[in-house]
Chains A and B, each alone.
Chain A
Amino acid sequence: MTTDTRSTSRLRDDPLVRRLGWASALLGVPQVVAPAGFARALGVGDAPRHRSATTAVGVRELAAATGLLGRPHPVWLWGRVGGDLMDLTMLARALKNHNGRGLGRTVAATAAVTAVTATDVYAAVTRTRRSTPMELTAATTVTRSPDEAYTLWKDLERLPDFMVHLDEVHVTGPRTSHWQASAPFGRTVEWDAEITQDVPGQLIAWRSVDGADIDNSGEARFVPAPGGQGTEIRVSLRYDLPGGPLGKAAARYFGEEPHQQLDDDLRRFKQIAETGEVVRSEGAPGGKRARGEFPQHPARPLTVDELKEALS
């Protein structure tokens, strides 16, 4: 489990995050422009040290506002939590040494900051995504040229022919596509993907665009194998599995040996590249679903109904 530091796009449209950003801005401006007046309003006095502390707090608030509204990231939320604790410490000291003038305002300010602290802690905790990145790599060699292997892979709509968890891929534009995969408990997950790198005969890389249920990316490299033996295909996939029970279920779905699954996918890619299709046996008639079929169908011809199901 690691703390994820991405999620920029999600936070940009998050109403709570935006409200906190504007709150920082609204507090920061008067603190910087009129520190003495602001300090007086809080009932903490306007001695030079009070003024400069208020200015510093204002600068901090403006920085937080810029971050939260401009480049939203959980670190700004945690920054606000840190600032809140600083403010509470200062207010506590002010209350302790209070001369009695404007005590009511200071108490009210302390209560307000306490409430804001609670909100900030809530926002920071909930907006920090815990995720489990899962990175898989596998390689195979096919007796085809890098161009042939690349061309076969570039036909993204054929990926589900050999990648067991993919149900469908639709190309929606020159660089964009829509992917549908099966997920635990009979659910399907869908996402849009874009090709991020495309070097004919050498490399294809893709990633899910903002808003995917499970952020994922992948790349396939095509390298001539030594001695003119064909092409080495090196594939890596990365999934950001969400934390918590859903992520655990997803990880389990990928199996105890997710690498095995990618190895099998590539073995089927090789079958298609070299023989034209995925080989079916009577024991494993489902082609790419073969590994999920244990115990297998007996090695005898299928009945008409079994055949229909296997070829569906």
Chain B
Amino acid sequence: MKANCWTGRNSVEVQDVPDPSILNSRDAIVKITSTAICGSDLHLVDGYVPTMEKGDILGHEFMGEVVEVGPGISDGRLRVGDRVVVPFPIACGACASCRAELYSCCENSNPNAGMFGHPTCGIYGYSHLTGGFAGGQAEYARVVLADTNALKIESDLTDEQVLFLSDILPTGYMGADMCDIKQGDVVAVWGAGPVGQFAMDSARVLGAEKIIAIDKETYRLDMAAAQGYTTIDFEDTDVRSALLELTGGRGPDKCIDAVGMEATHGASHVDLYDRAKQAVRSETDRPHALRQAIMSCRSGGVVSVIGVYGGMIDKFPAGAWMNRSLTLRTGQCHVQRYMRPLLGMIEQGKIDPTRIITHRLPLTEAPTGYDLFKNKKDHCEKVVLTP
């Protein structure tokens, strides 16, 4: 089959690879009908995540049709022919974390767990730190512990309407959910990429009064503005001052970091400082968005982090965080917790996930998709690939 593989820093290639087969008894094989490129795939391609091997298949946002089920899947849980969306975190459903609905902290699904002090879940196509599972930017994929993970789609919603249930829609939603949004809240979202857009939509669904998007790409800010959100371009504006102005000096009640480890900063000296530290590995992540969110958030507010961090950061404003009673909440998305409610919201028309799709390409043109998305060419917001 054809699959999009990581072949080195800044290099992906569609290669012919063997078809997947059942390795564990609760596996299923899915013939992929739609798959997408995620912002976190760029962290891998940019070379910021260790333990990539040449030839790893990328991709953790995919859906398709079940073509084979393992002998351990009890009758009826999943059948050949089922149409399923596959959540990116592999969860066993039986460990203490899964029982507490902390699916991305599953204690059993990552054979290589250990990097972060306690186990974190296995993730498809997302380095060997997360297990070395083959990804879904391919014609077929093996779904692990498929009976507890694959979400069956039984309505006639299109692929594009449900594909993002695999990751970015629940991730954005969890960013807003962790904010405990109350009527009248002002919510600021750093990053107007796909996850940031969905965090804004979710904040609106959860009752936020004013939503502020912070980015530097005009087309992404325009996309947010089209939904009625206020925008701040950090390249020509001091973010903290602008936020104070927009909130009558209070600061946003809730702040969402949808940026993560590869942030850029409007002030070039700060940007250079973190780039230099990152280059010599004295820090692994550039936490501009996180720092700014903590400094900007209203006292007693919540800073919700859904942008991906991988290692160590410098200059964490612990003083502001502690003295102003801020709550920091975070996590890789517990997708399985949100998939069903969000599917309901899509069916009811409360959320339209298709609004962020800007590019549709065949799987064979995945490298072009990466180039468009990474370099923000042609107003690229989200690339969907079809095998």
* Residues of A in contact with B (beta carbons under 8 Å apart): 141-143, 229-230, 267, 270-271, 274-285, 287, 290, 295-304, 307, 310-311
Q: List 20 A-B contacts (CB under 8 A).
A: A270-B108, A274-B95, A275-B108, A276-B25, A277-B26, A277-B72, A281-B122, A282-B133, A283-B111, A283-B133, A287-B111, A290-B111, A296-B53, A297-B53, A298-B56, A299-B135, A301-B17, A301-B20, A301-B21, A303-B18
Q: Mark B98-137, 1 if CB is under 8 A from A, else 0.
A: 0100000001111111000001001001001001111100
When the two chains form their complex, are residues A274 and B92 in contact, meaning their CB atoms are under 8 A apart?
A: yes
A279-B24, A279-B109, A281-B131 given; A299·B57 CB < 8 A: yes
Mostly, the A contact residues are: loop
Query: Looking across the interface, which residue of chain B has its beta carbon closest to that of A282?
Result: B134
Apart from A143-B94, A279-B111: 20 A-B pairs, beta carbons within 8 A: A142-B95, A143-B95, A274-B95, A274-B108, A276-B26, A276-B72, A279-B108, A281-B111, A281-B112, A281-B132, A281-B134, A283-B133, A284-B112, A298-B132, A299-B55, A300-B55, A300-B56, A301-B21, A302-B18, A303-B18
* Residues of B in contact with A (beta carbons under 8 Å apart): 3, 5, 17-21, 23-26, 53-57, 72, 92, 94-96, 99, 107-113, 119, 122, 125, 128, 131-135, 142, 144-145
Query: Looking across the interface, which residue of chain B has its beta carbon closest to that of A302?
Result: B18
When the two chains form their complex, are residues A229 and B122 in contact, meaning their CB atoms are under 8 A apart?
A: no
CB-CB < 8 A to A143: which residues of B? 94-96, 99
A170 to B145, CA, bound (A): 31
CB < 8 Å neighbour of B133 from A267, A274, A276, A299 = A299
| Closest CB in chain A relative to B351 CB, distance in Å | 32
CB-CB < 8 A to A271: which residues of B? 92, 108
CB < 8 Å neighbour of A277 from B17, B20, B25, B95 = B25
Mostly, the B contact residues are: loop
A267 to B119, CA, bound (A): 10
CB < 8 Å neighbour of A301 from B18, B25, B109, B122 = B18
A1 to B268, CA, bound (A): 59
When the two chains form their complex, are residues B125 and A299 in contact, meaning their CB atoms are under 8 A apart?
A: yes
Query: Looking across the interface, which residue of chain A has its beta carbon closest to that of B122?
Result: A281
| Closest CB in chain A relative to B35 CB, distance in Å | 15
CB < 8 Å neighbour of A270 from B53, B107, B122 = B107
CB < 8 Å neighbour of B96 from A229, A295, A297 = A229
CB-CB < 8 A to B17: which residues of A? 300-301
Query: Looking across the interface, which residue of chain A has its beta carbon closest to that of B57?
Result: A300
When the two chains form their complex, are residues A284 and B131 in contact, meaning their CB atoms are under 8 A apart?
A: yes
A141-B96, A281-B133 given; A307·B24 CB < 8 A: no
When the two chains form their complex, are residues A299 and B53 in contact, meaning their CB atoms are under 8 A apart?
A: yes
CB-CB < 8 A to A297: which residues of B? 53, 132
A310 to B18, CA, bound (A): 15
When the two chains form their complex, are residues B56 and A301 in contact, meaning their CB atoms are under 8 A apart?
A: no
Query: Looking across the interface, which residue of chain A has its beta carbon closest to that of B51?
Result: A296
When the two chains form their complex, are residues B23 and A285 in contact, meaning their CB atoms are under 8 A apart?
A: yes
Query: Looking across the interface, which residue of chain A has its beta carbon closest to that of B124?
Result: A299
| Closest CB in chain B relative to A78 CB, distance in Å | 47
| Closest CB in chain B relative to A30 CB, distance in Å | 70
CB < 8 Å neighbour of A290 from B21, B112, B134 = B112
| Closest CB in chain A relative to B147 CB, distance in Å | 11
A274 to B57, CA, bound (A): 28
A141 to B95, CA, bound (A): 9
Of the listed residues B18, B26, B122, B132, the one surrounded by the most CB atoms of chain A closer than 10 A to its CB is B132
A270 to B128, CA, bound (A): 21
Of the listed residues B107, B110, B119, B142, the one surrounded by the most CB atoms of chain A closer than 10 A to its CB is B107
